[in-house]
Amino acid sequence: MIAPDPCRHGSSDSGLRSRPSAGKTQRWAQALLLGVLACGLVSCQSLSPITPTPEIKENLQPEFLLNHLINRQTGIHTVRSFLKTAITRRGERRSFKQALLASDDASMRLDTLGMFNQVLGVLIHRNGKTSLFDAKNDRSYVDLEALEVMEKIVGSRLDMNEFSSVLLSRAPRLESLKAEQASLNEDQTHYQLTSYDSAREETVEITIDAATLLPVRLVRHRKDFVVYELRWDNYKKINNQYFPQSITLARPYLKETVSLDYDDPILNGEIEEEFFNPPAGATPPPLS
């Protein structure tokens, strides 16, 4: 989880800490790790292809909307895609090209690429283990050491399981929420769903397109402190699933925005397990 302590930004049950970065870092590592500052796994349920609702209803129950969102996102099991990653943090902006493999078993691989698609660095997470690979220096970091390197570079520790869910366009910990209330805005374009995460004592506000019932914005906050805001934009139908071509994470307390733009993503294809086995090679995985 990416939730820091709102008072001291220290470690918490969320699995992410924030503090100032230490020293200069390599370009690939900044791209690899800052680019993944994104916020649970969700239950495995079957999903029928989503179709726009024929009419806008004002009295949809909160539980219905929450269950619909859970069912929608569990229909996406794997993603292969190139990514254009842009990170703006405290006024400084960087852009990078990356290659992504992500699976709904909380496995992911993210390669940061050079000008000619050569691998500069690789982040792999599988079966609860995390590894970083520096292709230039032929150096690997595993588990605790990898987390320490991540913290030095970005000032944060990540919950890699939740990070994998974001790469799949999922809302982290959606299945842990309790729906409380829902309303339709005046122009009948969006539903506002209010829910509560009792384990983390956080309120989650989700804005849902009234015509398609697709999520467009999520804000997680603890009282008046905004933990993060997540946005999904430019949905396209791929293999009978609606997938956002752009995902944006904003963390106001860090003055940080991370944008992930997907380039022709492939959904629900088979991903060979070998691509999640560190040490990573110097060749990016096939994305077609």
pLDDT in tens, 70-106: 999 999 999 999 999 888 888 888 888 999 999 988 8
Residue 5 pLDDT grade (very low, low, confident, very high; cuts 50, 70, 90) = very low
Residue 137 falls inside a structural domain = yes
Give me the pLDDT at residue 54, please: 47
CATH value at residue 237: 2.50.20.10
What is the count of structural domains for the chain?
Answer: 1
- Percentage of the chain with pLDDT > 90? 43
Beta 78-89 vs 129-134: how paired, if at all? unpaired
- pLDDT greater than 80 at residue 16: no
Q: Using CB atoms within 10 A of its CB, is residue 288 exposed (0-12), middle (13-18) or buried (19+)? A: exposed
pTM: 0.77
Residue 24 falls inside a structural domain = no
Residue 270 falls inside a structural domain = yes
Residue 11 pLDDT grade (very low, low, confident, very high; cuts 50, 70, 90) = very low
Residue 150 falls inside a structural domain = yes
The position carrying tokens 């820091």 is: 4
Which is higher by pLDDT, 43 or 97?
97
Tokens coding 30: 């900044």
Residue 16 falls inside a structural domain = no
Torsion of CA 36, 170, 125, 85, to 10 degrees: -30
Structural domain containing residue 235: 62-276
Residue 104 falls inside a structural domain = yes
Residue 154 pLDDT grade (very low, low, confident, very high; cuts 50, 70, 90) = low
Q: What angle do CA 51, 55, 58 make, to 5 degrees?
A: 115
Residue 25 falls inside a structural domain = no
Residue 5 falls inside a structural domain = no
